[in-house]
Structure 1
Amino acid sequence: MRRVLARGRVCCGHGTDPRRWGPRGRTTIGVGRDGDTLVVELTGKSGVDHVIEIDDALVLAAIDVLRRRRSRSDAALLAYREGRRWRRPEPAMVNEYVRQVTGLEVSAKDFRTWHATVLAAVALADADEAGDTAASRKGAVATAMSEVAA
C-alpha cells in the first residue's frame, strides 16, 4: 500500500456514490498494464483526467494479486477480507494504516504532497534560469510549478 501511494501519487477519495458524496471527492480509477508498466487512469478534482505510469516491479506484483481477487460483480481494486466477504476500505482506514506504519500524524495525501515537493525541487535544480534576478527566479518557479502540475 505504501509503495502504491508513494509511486502513484494518489490519495484516498471519499467513495463513488454521488448520492452520498456529491461530485467532489469521487475518484474512479482504471488500472491496466502496458508490458512492465502499471497504467493508472483516474479523474481528479475539477474533472481533470490523469494517467499515471508506475514501473516498480513490487507494485506490479501487488496489483496483479489484487486484480486476481476481483470478480465481475465487484471490480474494487483495494479490498480486505472480513470473514467470507470482501470489503472496500474507507479512506479513514487507509489513513489510519499510514499513521500506524509511519508513526507520524500523516495521511495518504502527504505522499502525494511530498512527491510533488521533490519533483518541484528537481525541476528548480534543473532550471535553465540562472536565478540571478527576482524575475529570473520567478520564471524558474513558474516553470517548475507548471511541470509538477502537468
Structure 2
Amino acid sequence: ALAIPPAWTDVWICPFQNGHLQATGRDARGRKQYRYHERWRTGRDGAKFERLIEFAGVLPVIRERCDTDLVRTGLPREKVLAAVVRLLETTLIRVGNDEYARLNKSFGLTTLRTRHATVTGTQIRFKFRGKSGRQHEVGLTDRRLAAVVRRGQELPGQEIFTYVDEAGEPRDVASDDVNDYLREISGADVTAKDFRTWAGTLLAYRALRALAPDPDDKAARRNVVDAVRFTSERLGNTPAVARRSYVHPAILEAYLEGSIGSALLQAAEEQVQPPPTQDTDEEASVVALLRDRIQSQASPA
C-alpha cells in the first residue's frame, strides 16, 4: 500500500505497479511530495553506499585542499567554500537548501543567517532550526573557521557564508557551489551529502567496536539497535532513517557475524558524542571491511 497521507492534494498515482515514482501530491503547506517504489529506493540507497569507497579515497585530497584554501587572504570564494566543507565534516550539519529555508524556515550550512551563529574568540556556536523542525545547537573551536564566520557576519546581507568577489561585492554561496567545489578539488563525483553517509558509517563502526561481540543473537541485535540509535542522534535523524540511508549495511552485518573487533575501553556513548575526528587508521579499517564485503558478495558461492 502507498499509504498516501489524507492531507495531500493534487494527488497523482502511477498507473504502473512497478514504476519507480509511485505517487506525488502536495502536503498541507503546498510542498510537493513523492512516494517511490521500495525496490527503486533500495537500489538508490545501495548505489549511494557503493560510492563510499570512492569518497573515502578522495577524502585526504579534499582535506588537504581545504587546508590550503583556508589560509588564503581576504574572503575569496575558495576560502568560504573550504570553510563550509570543513564544517560539513566536523559538525555533520546538512549543507542546506534555499527552498527549504524560504518555505519551511529550516536551515543548513549554506542558508544559515547571521543570527544563527555566535563567535567568541576561536569558538563558534551555531543554534538554528533544521530539517523537520529539529532544533540544533552545535559548538566547536577553530581559529580559521571562526574568522570566516565572523567576517561573513560583518558583510551586508543575511547569510553567514558569503565571499567577496573580484569587484568587491558580497556573494553568498549555495549548495550547488559547494558540490561544484568538491568535484573540482577531488576530481570525483562526490557531493556534500557523502559526508553524512561516510560519518554515519564511521560512527556506527566506532560504536560497535566499543561493544563486545555477543554470542547471543538477540543481544547482538540489541547492540546493533543501540549503535544505530547513537549514530542517529549524532546525525539528527530517526534510527530508521539512519539505518536505511546513512549506515552501510556491511558494518552491521560484520558485527553480527563477529567480524568487528573486541571491546575498546571507551563506552559507545563516549565514542559517538564528539564530532568525528580524522582517524585515518580507523577510516582505512572501514574501507578495508567494505571492500572485503563487496568482493565476497560478488564472488560465486
TM-score class, shorter: 0.7 to 0.9
Q: Partner letter of residue 138 of structure 1?
A: R
Q: 2:199 aligns with which of 111, 115, 123?
A: 115
What's the RMSD between the two structures over aligned residues?
A: 2.5
Quote the offset at 1:96 in angstroms. Answer: 0.8
Q: 2:133 aligns with which of 34, 39, 47?
A: 47
Q: 1:87 aligns with which of 164, 167, 171?
A: 171
Quote the offset at 1:77 in angstroms. Answer: 1.5
Q: Does 1:6 align with 2:89?
A: yes
* CA distance in 2 between partners of 1:24 and 1:113 (Å): 24
Which whole-Å deviations, capped at 9, do the CAs of 1:90-140 have from their partners, x for residues lacking one? Answer: 211111101111222111111122122211111111125x33132122111
* CA distance in 1 between partners of 2:231 and 2:186 (Å): 26
* CA distance in 2 between partners of 1:108 and 1:79 (Å): 18
Provide the secondary structure at the position in 2 that maps to 1:70: helix
Q: Does 1:32 align with 2:113?
A: no
Unaligned runs of 5+ in 1: none
Structure with more contact order per residue of length (Cα contacts < 8 Å, sep ≥ 6): 1
* CA distance in 2 between partners of 1:24 and 1:135 (Å): 42
* CA distance in 2 between partners of 1:124 and 1:106 (Å): 27
Which whole-Å deviations, capped at 9, do the CAs of 1:32-60 have from their partners, x for residues lacking one? Answer: 246654322232221111222323x3xx3
Aligned match of 2:180? 96
* CA distance in 2 between partners of 1:137 and 1:40 (Å): 37
Question: 1:10–1:109: 8 Å Cα contact kept in structure 2?
Answer: no
Quote the offset at 1:26 in angstroms. Answer: 4.0
Question: Which segment drifts farther, 61-70 or 41-50?
Answer: 61-70
Unaligned runs of 5+ in 2: 1-81, 234-301
Quote the offset at 1:25 in angstroms. Answer: 6.4
Question: 1:39–1:51: 8 Å Cα contact kept in structure 2?
Answer: yes
Question: 2:125–2:138: 8 Å Cα contact kept in structure 1?
Answer: yes
Provide the secondary structure at the position in 1 that maps to 2:154: coil
- In the superposition, the TM-score normalised over structure 2's length comes to 0.42
Q: 1:74 aligns with which of 128, 147, 157?
A: 157
* CA distance in 2 between partners of 1:119 and 1:131 (Å): 19
Inter-CA distance 70–54: structure 2 relative to 1 (3 Å threshold):
closer
The sequence identity of aligned pairs, in percent, is 24
* CA distance in 1 between partners of 2:127 and 2:106 (Å): 16
Quote the offset at 1:5 in angstroms. Answer: 1.6
